[in-house]
Amino acid sequence: MALTGTYQRNLDDKNRVAIPKRLRDQFQDKSLASLYVAPGTEKSLALYSPHEFERLAERLSAGASNRPGYQNYLRLLYGRTEEVQLDSQGRVRLPDWLVEFAGLKKDVVLLGVQDHAEIWDQDHWQEFLSTHGPAYDEMAATAFE
């Protein structure tokens, strides 16, 4: 099942964020106890179930390792990715360095993005929507080419 939806959340003073039940239920791992949090693109964080993180690792290992920047990307991705446990309230504690990387403040947005979820600072997400939202029809037309 594809992960979908947009959810407004708050980051607490311990850098914990509640993962909405609806979003947790969309992950393929039915006994979801942990997630992998990784640096995403455009100052976001990516959340993967253990199953989807393994699939990502398989796709990356099939890539050509002689491409410029490939090894550096792997170092940055794997070196800054951390497995985080879901607590009894469905929250995860985000590592400080990833909160800083994404510029997260108190108000955050979680997005379902097919095989993973993303966490954005709310102001940064609104800026992204303002910049890219008007081109949605154009992007949709090229998505199926």
Better-predicted residue by pLDDT, 9 or 67: 9
Range 13-22 average pLDDT: 96
What per-residue confidence (pLDDT) applies to 49?
94
Which DSSP category does 2 fall into? -
Integer angstrom CA distances of residue 63 from 53, 54, 66, 67, 72: 16, 15, 9, 9, 13
Quote the number of domains for the chain. Answer: 1
Mean per-residue pLDDT for 129-145? 91
Q: Is residue 1 part of a domain?
A: no
In a domain? residue 61: yes
- Domain with 93 in it: 6-143
pLDDT digits (tens, 9 = 90+) for 76-133: 999 999 999 999 999 999 999 999 999 999 999 999 999 999 999 999 999 999 999 9
In a domain? residue 46: yes
3-state SS assignment for residue 96: helix
Is residue 117 domain-resident?
yes
Q: Is residue 93 part of a domain?
A: yes
- CB burial class (10 A; 0-12, 13-18, 19+) of residue 45? buried
Domain holding 39: CATH number? 3.40.1550.20
pLDDT, tens digit (0-9, with 9 covering 90-100), for 21-64 = 999 989 877 778 999 999 999 999 999 999 999 999 999 988 76
The whole-number pLDDT of residue 70 equals 87
Is 95 inside any structural domain? Answer: yes
